Amino acid sequence: MLFKQLLEADSCTYTYLIGCEKTRQAILIDPVLDTAERDLQVLEDLGLTLMATLETHVHADHLTGAWRLKQRTECQIAYPKMLDLPCADIGVREGEPLRVGSVTLYPLFTPGHTDHHHAYLIDTQVQKLLFTGDALLIEACGRTDFQSGSAADLYDSIYSKLFSLPGETLVYPGHDYEQRFVSSIAQEKARNPRLGCGRSKEDFVALMDGLDLPYPRKIDFAVPGNEDCGQCPANVPEQFRGPCLASDQG
């Protein structure tokens, strides 16, 4: 398996490249429009063909690069099936593995940050890799105060789906804001200040309900744009339109 962790600095979003060494097929988990050209160059440098882009959820802090990458490579776009997005080519759901050549990804339905959020597990002969999106972060978790979020659902998702995995499972989050790259299930169970050390569901819900987080600065255009697979809506502010203009121009 080929693997790269790539960062989009403005939203601190991690994009993950997963490739098959035999077939040279690849996917990108949570690509960002702003770094689509970089991703294309990485694929070319590695001699890989992009089979699909794969989203953990509809993001509120950036526009996905899915539509741009499809324009450039004719790849398919994969989203959680329950969204039933007209722009998506593949609907993923728990119990239906997604294969990229010899690599198999297992979707895990993990609602809470959003009501449709999915994480993705790869179980190699050597190591389990878990791509947690915005559900479980390194010593943190995704917010639950918009997009049909639910602190109670997030707690259940993490404890029943993610914390039940072996402790050595590597955790690759959708974001990190402190220049950290990877964690593990054992580390998060022991050290996560929001969820670790067996925190009760009641305490977690109270903690999340009291965070009083700022309104996401890109949500008003990111959510509708991402429900359209990354096509830029008309209300993108001027300061964020650069990547949209590049996309419009091909």
**pLDDT tens-digit readout, 186-199:** 999 999 999 999 99
244 assigned to some structural domain = no
CB 17, CB 32: distance < 8 Å: no
Number of domains comprising the chain: 1
Backbone angles phi, psi at 243, to 5 degrees: -60, -30
At residue 35, the pLDDT reads 98
Q: What is 14-37 written as a DSSP string?
A: EEEEEE-TTT-EEEEES-BGGGHH
What whole-number percentage of the chain has pLDDT above 90? 97
- Domain containing residue 66: CATH number: 3.60.15.10
Residue 180 lies in a domain: yes
Tell me how far apart the alpha carbons of residues 46 and 197 are, in angstroms, rounded to a whole number. Answer: 41
Question: Given this model, what pLDDT does residue 125 score?
Answer: 85
Residue 216 lies in a domain: no
The 10s digit of each residue's pLDDT in 94-124 is: 999 999 999 999 999 999 999 999 999 999 9
Query: 249 pLDDT exceeds 50?
Result: no
Q: Note down the domain range covering 41.
A: 2-211
Residue range 191-209: average pLDDT?
A: 97
> Using one digit for the tens of pLDDT, what is the confidence trace for 7-65?
999 999 999 999 999 999 999 999 999 999 999 999 999 999 999 999 999 999 999 99
Residue with tokens 């080929």: 2
pLDDT at 69 (0 to 100): 98
Residue 217 lies in a domain: no
| Percentage of residues of the chain with pLDDT beyond 70 | 98
The pLDDT value given to residue 241: 94
User: Could you tell me where the beta strands, DSSP code E, fall in 114-165?
Assistant: 118-123, 128-133, 136-137, 140-141
pLDDT at 177: 96
Computed over every residue of the chain, the mean pLDDT equals 96
146-161 pLDDT, tens digit per residue, is: 999 999 999 999 999 9
Answer whether residue 247 shows pLDDT above 60: no
Q: In terms of DSSP H, where are the helices of the chain?
A: 36-46, 66-73, 151-157, 185-191, 201-209, 219-226, 242-248
- Look at residue 200 in the predicted model and tell me its pLDDT: 97
For residue 199 the two structure tokens come to 């925190």
Average pLDDT over every residue of 81-91: 98
